[in-house]
Amino acid sequence: MCVRFTIAFVSIALALPAASSAAPVAAPVAHVACSRDTPATIMGQHKCLGPGEYCKLSAERQYERYGFICSTRYDPARLRRA
C-alpha cells in the first residue's frame, strides 16, 4: 500500500510542473513615456525626440516624419525643429 501511494504521489508531483509550463504567460512590456519630447519610432526603436538631441543622418527621413531635421550645423549632428 505504501509503495502505491509513493508511486502515485511521485507521478502527480512530476505531472504538475509540466502542466503549468504548457501555457506560458506573456511578460509585461514596459512602455516609455516622453514627458516633454515627441515620442517616435526611429530605426525600429522607441525614441523621445526633442530639439538638441543627438541624431543619425542616415535616419533623416524618419525624423522629418515627426517634424525634425537632423542638422549638421553641430558636430555631432543634432535635431532641430523643421
Q: Give the pTM.
A: 0.59
Domain boundaries, given as residue ranges, for the chain: 38-81
Measure the CA–CA gap between 45 and 62, rounded to whole angstroms: 12
Q: How confident is the model at residue 70 (pLDDT cuts 50, 70, 90)?
A: very high
For residue 26, the 8-state DSSP code is P
Q: Is the pLDDT of residue 51 over 70?
A: yes
Measure the CA–CA gap between 42 and 37, rounded to whole angstroms: 14
In tens, the pLDDT along 3-33 reads 665 666 666 666 655 555 555 666 555 566 8
Any idea what the Cα angle at residue 46 is, between residues 44 and 52, rounded to 5°? 110
Q: In the chain, count H helices and then E strands.
A: 2, 4
